[in-house]
Structure 1
Amino acid sequence: MRFNPLGSSGLTVSEICLGSMTWGIQNNQHDADQQIQRAIDTQINFIDTAEMYPVPPNKETYGDTERVIGDWLSRHPAQRQALIIMSKIAGPGIGYIRGGERMTGKALPVALDASLERLQTDYVDVYQLHWANRPTAHFGTHWPNQVRPSKIDADRERDTMRELVIALGEEIKAGKIRHWGLSDETPWGIHTFLQLCSELNVPRPVSIQNEFSLIHLKDWPYLIETCVLEDVAYLPWSPLAGGALSGKYLNGERPAGSRWTMVQRQGLFRDTAMANQAIARYVALANDFGITPSQLALAWCRQVDGVTSTIIGATTLAQLEENIAAFSITLTDQQLAEVHEVLQQFSQPF
């Protein structure tokens, strides 16, 4: 296992981060226990969760993933200090989470305390803002004019961001948060938060999670350059594009129990004709290379300059083993050239 610095935090994290969003719907406590133990056995020290999980999010299971992790921690208290656990406060738009309201300085400690109670821990290592209060080009809305920055009230956004930074600083002083980070943000968001931290003398964000994969490249190169030069760890989520890059959804297939058979909160925006053409090409390349399609996608992601740790998820131990094994694979220059030939042809397929 390789380890990398988590931005400016002083923490060192495994290059694999264990994602948990299936725990509570697709996976039960026993499954999660097995996954956590397997991760620890392979020296993974990094676990990501969120108050909103599991996914697909719904009122009945809200917070259950944190409860699953908390159950495990209650039975393995000696392991707590060895693990770096990240959670997130949900952004606006989900009615059963604080009425769907924006993140505010007042809401943040309420959300944090609830997460700590569910996690059965006194602190979270990295507390993240799950998505921005303002509209941003995420979740399939990255085509021109789907989001209109000219309509955003920058002063209003800065005021709320200032509130959040102050609240985060107070929770860091209280010892409930060791570090904080961003998720589903933009270069403007990163720089604005950095400026506010400098102004308010609050620790800087140490990381950002954004969607990034062979079929979702919008953060390369500009946001990733921002992260590298500002010492903010870049943590790709959905490196398998919601499982699509495994090839299991090609030709309209929907394997029983898979995520795409479930109710989708925002629709299957990744399921386009061009995306499927790209995935078919990547599946063929993986077969030529003697690895699985998932391993090709994860090995490629690991080799992108600026990536700190890649968030993986699995519903079975076999999938977890397959994904972990991908990080022992180094694609050759020739293999990368073949991958990049497809990448250039299908640089934005959804």
Structure 2
Amino acid sequence: MRYTKLPNTDIEISKICLGTMTWGKQNTEDEAHVQMDMAIDKGINFFDTAELYPVPAEAETQGRTSTYIGTWLKKTGNRDKLILASKITGPGDYTKHIRTGGFSKQNIIDAVNRELKRLQTDYIDLFQLHWPERETNTFGTRDYTHDENEHWNQNFYAVLETFQELISDGKVRFVGLSNEKAWGTMRYLEEAKYNNLPRPITIQNAYSLVNRTFEGDLAEVSHRENIGLLAYSPMAFGILSGKYFKGLDKPNSRLNLFKRFSRYSDPQTMVAAKRYMELAEKYGLSPAQMALAFVTDRPFVTSNIIGATDSAQLEENIESIHLKLGEDILKEINKIHSEIPNPAT
């Protein structure tokens, strides 16, 4: 395994983070425990969860992923070996079964306390805001359109002030963002800087061969402000493994189960994914490992969040840490990107 540090801290984390959102829906508790055992054995010390997991968000399964992590932590006693990240859900119809009211002080504290109970731990290392409260272009919406009638008041200061209390109480160590944009990221950093409040140290956004939109304004923010990307969906729901073009996908694969994530099955996304698969095969590489290695080695990526529904997939994905892409293949990757840019935005 390779390691780096969480930005602005002395905390060492693995360059690969174990993603968990399938546990409790596509994976059983026993399967989740096997994956965690494998991750630890392979040198991964960074796990990421969220209060809404597993995905898709449903009332009957909500919180089950973190519960599985908690039972594993109790069984193994491995809490001191881990850097553990979680998230408070953002507002919207998709998550109204969890709570309403956005990132109020009461809601943030409630989310942290409930996660602590599920995870069976006294503290969470990194607690993230899962997506913004305001209306913005996330989750497959390419461009921003301003809504003059939006009912949202800026509360960046109040959110960070609440986290200051949680940090003082020892329940949270650091704050992170997720699915955030450049403006929101800079506003949080501004409030932290000028009001001596907790500074967000990471941003967890989608990033893959078929979605490199982070390389716009956010890449500059990441470099200049030292806020590291935790890249999620580096395999674009598995399409970058090549299995959908070879008839190797299973009925319970993410893309087959969750049709609402249409950006990953868009025709242009599929065209690009097939070209990346063919490129990997030209160089004698696993398409999955090529896709993951590309993400892991981007200079603004702090850790690459990988997940899998079975142990064989997980092992292959973890082993991508040993692959370094040469200049020739990177040029060909960028050629495909220039011809089919960001189809899975």
Smaller-chain TM-score bracket? over 0.9
Q: How does 1:5-154 map onto structure 2 within 5 Å?
A: 5-77=5-77, 79-93=78-92, 94-99=95-100, 101-142=101-142, 144=143, 147-149=144-146, 151=148
Query: 1:249: Cα distance to partner?
Result: 2.8
CA deviations over 1:8-50 (Å, ceiling 9, x no partner): 1321111000000011111111111111111111111100000
Amino acid at match of 2:76: H
Query: 1:150: Cα distance to partner?
Result: 5.8
| Number of aligned residues | 342
Find the aligned partners of 2:258 and 2:4 in 1 and give their Cα distance: 36
Q: Is the 8 A contact 1:248 1:255 kept in 2?
A: no
Amino acid at match of 1:193: Y
CA gap of 1:116–1:249, structure 2 versus 1, over 3 A, is same
Any gaps of 5 or more consecutive residues in structure 1? none
Q: How does 1:153-172 map onto structure 2 within 5 Å?
A: 156-158=152-154, 160-172=155-167
Find the aligned partners of 1:58 and 1:21 in 2 and give their Cα distance: 12
Aligned to 1:300, which of 294, 302, 326?
Answer: 294
Q: Find the counterpart in structure 2 of residue 4 from structure 1.
A: 4
Q: Find the counterpart in structure 2 of residue 217 from structure 1.
A: 212
Amino acid at match of 1:96: H
Report the TM-score, using the length of structure 1 for normalisation: 0.93
Q: How does 1:273-292 map onto structure 2 within 5 Å?
A: 273-292=267-286
Q: Is the 8 A contact 1:254 1:260 kept in 2?
A: no
Find the aligned partners of 1:157 and 1:227 in 2 and give their Cα distance: 26
Q: Identity rate of aligned residues, in percent?
A: 39
Amino acid at match of 1:210: N
Find the aligned partners of 2:153 and 2:322 in 1 and give their Cα distance: 42
CA deviations over 1:130-173 (Å, ceiling 9, x no partner): 0000122221101x3xx32363769x542x22221111110000
Query: 1:253: Cα distance to partner?
Result: 7.8
Query: 1:195: Cα distance to partner?
Result: 1.3
CA gap of 1:30–1:213, structure 2 versus 1, over 3 A, is same
Q: Find the counterpart in structure 1 of residue 201 from structure 2.
A: 206
CA gap of 1:223–1:241, structure 2 versus 1, over 3 A, is same
Find the aligned partners of 1:133 and 1:157 in 2 and give their Cα distance: 9
Aligned to 2:235, which of 232, 235, 240?
Answer: 240
Report the TM-score, using the length of structure 2 for normalisation: 0.95
Q: Is the 8 A contact 1:134 1:152 kept in 2?
A: no
Find the aligned partners of 1:188 and 1:197 in 2 and give their Cα distance: 14
Aligned to 2:187, which of 189, 192, 206?
Answer: 192
Q: Secondary structure at the match of 1:65?
A: helix
Amino acid at match of 1:140: G
Find the aligned partners of 1:302 and 1:322 in 2 and give their Cα distance: 14
